[in-house]
Amino acid sequence: MLDQLMNIIKQHGQQAVVENNAVPNEHNDAVMQEAGNSIFGGLQQMMSGGNMEQLTSLLQGNNSGAVNGLSENFAGNIAQKFGINAETAKNIAGGLIPQVLNSLKNKANDPNDKSIDLQGIIGSLTSGQGGGVQNIINSVGSQFGLDKDKDGDVDLGDITKMFGK
């Protein structure tokens, strides 16, 4: 998933980072890498902290608080690591992070795009711990009412019902 995330960042990072005079050219790739690290790390923190509802909400595009948190973290990191003005860093983050998360959400919810799915995202966030991923999904999913078809597990059928398809 990290490769797909970085591809999305590169697509959206052209204007926000590469064409931005406030970001020195020698830091373009590192700033985009930092965006990936901030997003992936933030999603991992949600997962490890048991915030599946927040993670699911974010992947559905419904959690501006989480988006703001990821953006603030990214802005702080690039300001500190690359000497980018704090206000400029906030503007870069405010444009890039929501776009990347929206594209990630769209890819995860697109039945014709098999490159990213919810189980793949969760598997990546849990370091691909095999069958344990499905157990985590089922356990947390039942706590948050994600078993939409009431069959005892959380799977593609439930995700489809979440999005009214």
pTM for this predicted structure: 0.71
Cβ distance 47 to 126 under 8 Å? yes
Going from the C-alpha of 99 to that of each of 4, 11, 13, 38, the distances in angstroms are 14, 10, 9, 14
pLDDT (tens digit, 0 to 9) for every residue of the chain, 165 residues total? 678 888 899 999 998 999 999 999 999 999 999 999 999 888 888 877 777 777 777 777 776 788 999 999 999 999 999 999 999 999 999 999 999 998 888 887 777 876 665 666 666 766 544 444 455 555 455 545 566 666 666 666 666 666 665
Q: For residue 151, how many other CB atoms are within 10 A of its CB?
A: 10
